[in-house]
Chain A
Amino acid sequence: MEKRTFLKGGAIALALGAVGMPKTSLAAGGKTIGISIPAATHGWTGGLNFQTKRTVEQMKKAFPDIEFVVAAANDASKQVNDVEDLVARGIDALVILPFESEPLTEPVKQAKAKGVFITTVDRGLSEEGIEDLYVGGNNPQYGVIAGHYFKKKFPDGAKIVVMRGIPTTIDNVRIDAFKKELGGSKVQILDMQFANWNPDKGFEVMQDFLQKYDAIDGVWAGDDDAALGAMEAIKQANRPKQIVVLGGSGMNKVVKMVKDGGGAVDADIFYPPTLIIPAIELTTMRTATQAPIRGRYILDSPLITKDNAEEFYFPDSPY
């Protein structure tokens, strides 16, 4: 009985401690930038969180008067709360990578109405003209580059399988562009399944593809996490014929394989978690100097090959 009371007391003390923790006050006279991003739940968002932290550190050094508040959300509804909390804190600018476009549009619009400078990253909002600045990768180009890679690799035709990502509009845009690019070529898509940008799922889906089809020349895994799973399944199956694997999004491990050469992977498609860097930098610049920065800033999704891999390699990043 005594033990239980002790436990309860401890728990309450812990909870009170958390609530009573002093909030860092706004920098005197300075400005505050709020950053709202998805939590590090898979490789790419892990990379995103790493680059955010890194950039914020650098910006703090360059502009000591500006305060940065970073919030990471597990889902769209938590992110809506985050945005509302940030606005309540009195931020001057908001850098947001929306989890989903629809649910985040209204809260960001509310923030805008309060005079907050809005920078959206990667995924847009569902209404035009809310954001002051947009920084994004090029999703249609992502699919086109992948299609182009297979066309060039197999001018005489090939049978390939595709791993889709998580069912989202981004995935649809990429896949549509990919299919369109391959239209009229001799490269034939045998099958498509969702692998959720996940290595375990990539492994299982690839095992099943290998059982289903005797001849597979290539795999577009859509993402490097899924590609690593697919490669493991191919290795296990001991297919005598080499199967070409193309992932995407620039995981450092895969970029290194491309850089070193000689492996199963000779290219990757850049869809970088580093796109948060210019978003934070430009917003900070705007906040610090009132420089008239607005518009759209689209980063290319080029093909990473042995020749240019060095440029895209961040060995310290967790992704």
Chain B
Amino acid sequence: MNTAANPADAMPHRSWFGATKRLSALGPIMALLALIFIGSMLSDSFLSAGNLSNLLTRSAIVGIIAIGATYVITAGGLDLSVGSMSALIAGLVIMGMNAAGSSLGDSWLVVLIGIVLALALGVVAGSLNGVLVVKGGIDAFIVTLGTMGIFRSVITWLSDGGSISLSSSLKGIARPLYYGSVAGVSYPLIAMIVLAIGAELVLRRARLGRHITAIGSNPEVARYSAIRVHRVRILTYVFQGVCVALATMIYVPRLGAATPSTGLLWELEAIAAVIIGGTALKGGFGRIWGSIVGVLILGLIDNILNLTALASPYLNGAFQGVIIIIAVYLQKGRREV
């Protein structure tokens, strides 16, 4: 009997059960299509190239973070610190770039230094979370709740509660990182798509991906199968840190400043997107494309409500809540297998 098989390995079969299973896997896409339909009915400007480009570009920030979150959650972990981490990295990178700019002169080189610095900080912050969870044996929820508070406090302290601004000439040079585009497709969107495809391939086809899924499914069995559980779990947190760093480097040129409220609640948006997309919160099953669809669903709801003034703006959060619950309910069939 093979009833406890990992859902990712389950062979598709032509039963009624298999059909509903496949249908529920399409839940998030159906929700996305329904929202696009509703949006285009309610507002003429919804499907305009300008609106879609705005929406996709700004979704890329949380989208890239959600890619990392998919890995962490699939391996049975959780990272609540991503929003605070992004704010802290943004602040430190801006300070670093301003300092580099004043000694080297403002140029593309300084922006490049900023990117490298951001990635290094992402690796450090991710390793900190990973090592504390894995080697320290502290629950991921607690570790990242702790680092969430630490990162947020440090950025508040560094900025004196105000804002840390990128010098305006550097802001001009870095601006294309957010606003630039190739053939109408913005750089942030390209970055998200490339990263998503790569991450999905690794998760499905590479050994590392199978190990991540196996650990999330059953860490004991994974250990007996000679999988280096510790190393792989730490790697998922490091990858999450790198994703946060990338997202931050898209975010910084947008407004050119980091404040104590930068990235507030991004962790909840990212986790909500991952779960809407069909990744199991308990671990053991993940899909990147689902998370991207989840991010788009969340972004679309906000956008449609802004464009249509459908109800009192006091109720925007309620709409989001209802749609999150419905989207996850549509996948319930698969989850209980």
Contacts and interface: CB of A to CB of B under 8 A. Distances in A.
Contacts of A43: 161-163, 259
Interface string B296-337: 000000110011010001101000000000000000000000
A5 to B, nearest CB: 11
Contact of B313 (A47, A49, A192): A192
A47 B162 contact: yes
Contacts of A191: 309
B54 A318 contact: no
B160 A164 contact: no
Given A42-B261, A43-B162, A232 B255 contact: yes
B45, B51, B161, B257 pick with most chain A CB within 10 angstroms: B161
A105 interface: no
A200 interface: yes
A194 B58 CA distance: 18
A40 B162 CA distance: 7
B136 A41 contact: no
Interface in A297-319: 317-319
Contact of B50 (A4, A198, A211): A211
A211 B136 contact: no
B160 A167 contact: no
A208 B313 CA distance: 14
B156 interface: yes
- The secondary structure that dominates the A interface is helix
A199 B255 contact: yes
A42 B260 contact: yes
B3 interface: no
B313 A193 contact: yes
B302 A204 contact: yes
B54 A200 contact: no
A12 to B, nearest CB: 14
Contacts, number: 105
Given A42-B261, A192-B313, A193-B313, A212 B162 contact: no
Nearest to B164: A318
Given A199-B259, A212-B306, A236-B179, A317 B313 contact: no
B231 to A, nearest CB: 16
Given A204-B302, A205-B306, A229-B255, A211 B51 contact: yes
B321 to A, nearest CB: 16
Contacts of A3: 135
Interface string A1-17: 00110010000000000
A253 B255 contact: no
Contacts of B161: 39-43, 45-50, 318-319
A200 B178 CA distance: 14
A208 B156 contact: no
Interface string B145-183: 000000000001001111101000000000000010000
B255 A46 contact: no
A212 B163 CA distance: 30
Q: What's the interface size class on A, roughly?
A: 35 or more
Contacts of A48: 161
B313 A50 contact: no
A164 B254 CA distance: 22
Contacts of B309: 191, 193
Interface in A210-246: 210-212, 225, 228-229, 232, 236-237
A207 B54 contact: yes
Contact of A204 (B45, B46, B58, B264): B58
A209 interface: yes
B260 A46 contact: yes
A207 B57 CA distance: 12
Given A212-B45, A228-B255, A46 B54 contact: no
A176 to B, nearest CB: 15
Nearest to A8: B136
Nearest to B178: A236
B307 A212 contact: yes
A233 to B, nearest CB: 8
A208 B303 contact: yes
B160 A7 contact: no
B306 A200 contact: no
Nearest to A209: B306
Given A46-B161, A193-B313, A211-B307, A40 B156 contact: yes
B48 interface: yes
Contacts of B156: 39-41, 46
Contact of A208 (B159, B264, B306): B306
A203 interface: yes
Contacts of A236: 179
Interface in A34-83: 39-43, 45-50
A318 B74 CA distance: 41
Interface string A109-148: 0000000000000000000000000000000000000000
B240 interface: no
B333 to A, nearest CB: 35
B12 interface: no
B43 interface: yes
Given A50-B160, A318-B163, 18 more contacts: A4-B136, A4-B137, A7-B136, A42-B161, A46-B161, A49-B160, A191-B309, A193-B313, A199-B255, A203-B254, A204-B306, A208-B51, A209-B306, A212-B43, A232-B254, A236-B179, A237-B50, A318-B162
21 contacts: A40-B161, A41-B156, A42-B259, A46-B260, A50-B160, A164-B313, A191-B309, A193-B313, A194-B314, A198-B264, A200-B255, A204-B58, A204-B306, A209-B306, A211-B54, A212-B43, A212-B306, A229-B255, A237-B50, A318-B159, A318-B163
9 closest Cβ contacts across the A-B interface?
A40-B161, A318-B162, A46-B161, A208-B306, A318-B160, A46-B162, A211-B51, A319-B162, A211-B45
